[in-house]
Amino acid sequence: MAKRSLVVVESPTKVKTIQKYLDSSFVVKASMGHVRDLPKSQLGVDPKKGFKPKYVVSPSKKKVLDELKKAALKADVLYVATDPDREGEAIGWHLAQELDVDKKNVYRITFNEITERAVRGAFAKPGKIDLKKVDAQQARRVLDRLVGYKLSPLLWDKVQRGLSAGRVQSVAVRLIVDRERAILAFVPVEYWSLHARLAAKLPPEFVATLKEVGGEKASLSDESATRALMASLEGVPFVVKSVTRGERRRNPVPPFITSTLQQEAGRKHGFSARKTMSVAQQLYEGIDLGPDGATGLITYMRTDSVRVAREAQEEARGWITARLGREYVPDTPPTYRSRGSAQEAHEAVRPSEVRFEPRSVERFLTRDQQVLYRLIWERFMASQMMPAVYDTVSADISAGRCLFRAQGATLRFKGFTAVYEESREDDARPAEDDAESAVPQLEEGEVLRLLLLDPRQHFTQPPPRFTEASLIKTLEELGIGRPSTYASILGTIINDRGYVRRERKALIPTELGIEVTDFLKPFFPEILDVEFTAQMEDSLDKIEEGDRKWVDTVAEFYRQFEKDLKKAAKEGRNVKVGAPTGEKCPDCGEGLVERWSRYGKFIACSAYPDCKYKRNLPGNERAEDQPTDELCPTCGRPMVIKDGKFGKFIACSGYPECKTTKPVTLGIGCPEPGCTGQLVERRSRRGRTFFGCSAYPNCKFVVGQRPIPEPCPKCGAPFTTERATRGRVVRRCARKECDFEREAETSVA
């Protein structure tokens, strides 16, 4: 009789995709993520007993676990097929602890892509649960629990309820705060550049830029110096001193890893990191492709490795040869180097099968799935192609004591750019003065005709504000956090805690974010230190590699953290009390203090709640309008975001002449059947925040807890809700009939 096997995956979406590749002796079930975790109502970690964690079955997972136990009783073999990372390894270990299957019959299988080839290959070579990975995850979990349960109550007491701090989120906020202060402190410096529009024997006209004066690098500090130099060039011949022609090869970029996928999806399509990961998860777990059934379209999306399987490279080379020609395929497949800490057992994010071209599957995908899949597919194909080749020319032109330079480049061979062009941050674009343009055929000694001298005034620019893409890039370069955590971190500091606001693409710290950072900085230097946070990530890697004990890592951190915590509780300024203004309350005579809320600073009576006097600070009577990329459908003027009595809304900048308005949505569709509205944040007449449908009064859907754009992992509801209560933050399913509930970390790594 054939052995019966139970296969446990994390997500119910994977069940259908994987089951079709296995015979009837295999039963595939989903754990819906973790089945055990630290308790919600207590610390669950004992520092006096080697930081031993107390794991309990999550109440919301009891029913799921009971079903898995029933299935395990009928099975001879258990295959743990959770995600191929630390978190997946830990989930598998907890499952193996809870399910009554002989340890020698428990196997660990992983696949980087959910395809028939990958799934069958994984079952052909099963392994065992990697306890070193489990230890690394356990160390991170315990560290975050210690920080969350010890530090967050301090913030609630000293600053404001519902706040949190964490090993990585606090550093990310500090980077944004420090950048904002650098921008505010920046003093621009004036400088000038000089450009000559010239004509040669042959067209076209071209522009050369001043580079040297008297053999030294040109430096024009103001208009008078520039005009004086221009006067000295009157009547001076412009002569071609040298012409250098060459070739420049532009190499393709590597296939995506998690962080670069988040960056590029943000730059090209305006996706948040959280949205990128949510859509990528859908593509990985499986899309119903009609005749092909449920199919995983991309490889595992949480990875920091750029390695590509040989079979995938061969598939790509075959497609490129057939569609573009042999000249687009390098003699040997390109190889790329991952960062030192990358998990090389993983692959880059790529299409699971090249044959599923974006155009051939787009009818099965949502709009968001289409654009992200196309991005992944094209980036991977480009990474396997030849470089683009440019013919370059650089001409040095002498004019008296001055040396001007003209540069040009023309594309000779498209190479990988025939498929894909990487975007750049706005601040990473080449300066106007260094731009390349068409340069005609020139000969050394040729005298050119000066058409125009064009002086241009410039000012040095402050450092740019972070965007989600540039912050992720900076965190990665500094070795802070891991690609799999960035989406959660950004979602926490922007959407959940309000430490940072997004203005168009720019990330700007709120007063709350600045206050929390300033409160933490003097007492918890390690938690906010970039280098220390990076070293902690290295320690977690060493635990996974077997070079360090997890308890030693936690103990080393906790010794100093406990001292800092006591000092902060004793000496930390109580921000809630507010800074005295020196004024007396006009209602009761007590002192007035400066306080702030998520909507900005205000003046209030120190005797609150007995006295409720308050007033806005000068200049803060009305929040500044925030620009949008939209135009008014009525009059064509720009639309702006305003902060009104009942919450934020979008209105025409031409008010009061034009009174067109629309709500600011959360990007979450209304769950009422047949309703096409979006959920919006509103405030009641008493100032209480609630969330309703933009189609009100036609649709009266209302929810009191903040909707989070993460589908319920249990029933698939389009969003969950979040609520802070008694020192913890709880996520629940939006559907009353679903009992999904889990604790959201008050400390996100």
Output the CA angle 479-481-482, nearest 5 degrees: 95
Output the CA angle 565-569-570, nearest 5 degrees: 120
pTM, 2 dp: 0.75
Which of 129, 146, 172 finishes a domain?
A: 129
Query: Of 55, 107, 149, 300, which residue is the catalytic one?
Result: 300
Nearest Cα to 639, choosing from 659, 665, 666, 667?
659
- As a whole number of angstroms, the distance between CA 562 and CA 555 comes to 10
Nearest Cα to 307, choosing from 280, 284, 338, 273?
338
Nearest Cα to 84, choosing from 45, 25, 130, 115?
130
- As a whole number of angstroms, the distance between CA 552 and CA 240 comes to 69
What pLDDT shows up at residue 622?
A: 44
Whether 366 is covered by a domain: the verdict is yes
On whether both 612 and 632 belong to a single domain, the answer is no
Say which CATH number the domain at 299 has.
1.10.290.10
Q: Which helix (H) or strand (E) holds 78?
A: strand 77-80
On whether both 505 and 474 belong to a single domain, the answer is yes
Per-residue pLDDT reduced to its tens digit, 445-500: 999 999 999 999 999 999 999 999 999 999 988 888 888 788 888 988 887 788 99
Which of 589, 616, 643 finishes a domain?
A: 616
On whether both 373 and 441 belong to a single domain, the answer is no
- Give 363's DSSP letter: G
- As a whole number of angstroms, the distance between CA 62 and CA 54 comes to 17
Nearest Cα to 94, choosing from 129, 52, 119, 70?
129
On whether both 657 and 598 belong to a single domain, the answer is no
On whether both 530 and 472 belong to a single domain, the answer is yes
On whether both 638 and 660 belong to a single domain, the answer is yes
Calculate Rg over the CA atoms of the chain. 30
Per-residue pLDDT reduced to its tens digit, 391-416: 999 999 999 999 999 999 999 999 99
- As a whole number of angstroms, the distance between CA 139 and CA 53 comes to 10
What pLDDT shows up at residue 659?
A: 82
- As a whole number of angstroms, the distance between CA 86 and CA 280 comes to 19
Is residue 500 within 8 A of residue 508, CB to CB? The reply is yes
- As a whole number of angstroms, the distance between CA 749 and CA 746 comes to 10
- As a whole number of angstroms, the distance between CA 194 and CA 97 comes to 73
- DSSP sequence for 232-249: HTTT--EEEEEEEEEEEE
On whether both 454 and 308 belong to a single domain, the answer is no
What pLDDT shows up at residue 627?
A: 67
What pLDDT shows up at residue 453?
A: 97
What pLDDT shows up at residue 429?
A: 46
Whether 564 is covered by a domain: the verdict is yes
Whether 159 is covered by a domain: the verdict is yes
On whether both 203 and 275 belong to a single domain, the answer is no
Between the alpha carbon of residue 713 and those of residues 31, 87, 195, 540, the distances in Å are 10, 16, 60, 28
* Residue 277 structural domain: 261-345+353-383
Whether 749 is covered by a domain: the verdict is no
Whether 167 is covered by a domain: the verdict is yes
Q: How many CB atoms within 10 Å of residue 115?
A: 18
Which parts of the chain have pLDDT scores under 50? 1, 428-433, 619-623, 726-727, 745-749
- Give 163's DSSP letter: -
Say which CATH number the domain at 502 has.
1.10.460.10
Whether 621 is covered by a domain: the verdict is no
On whether both 69 and 117 belong to a single domain, the answer is yes
Answer yes or no: 336 catalytic.
no
On whether both 305 and 367 belong to a single domain, the answer is yes
Nearest Cα to 135, choosing from 749, 553, 748, 557?
553
Which of 567, 591, 616 finishes a domain?
A: 616
What pLDDT shows up at residue 747?
A: 40
Whether 622 is covered by a domain: the verdict is no
Count of domains forming the chain:
6
On whether both 111 and 45 belong to a single domain, the answer is yes
Say which CATH number the domain at 17 has.
3.40.50.140
On whether both 648 and 692 belong to a single domain, the answer is yes
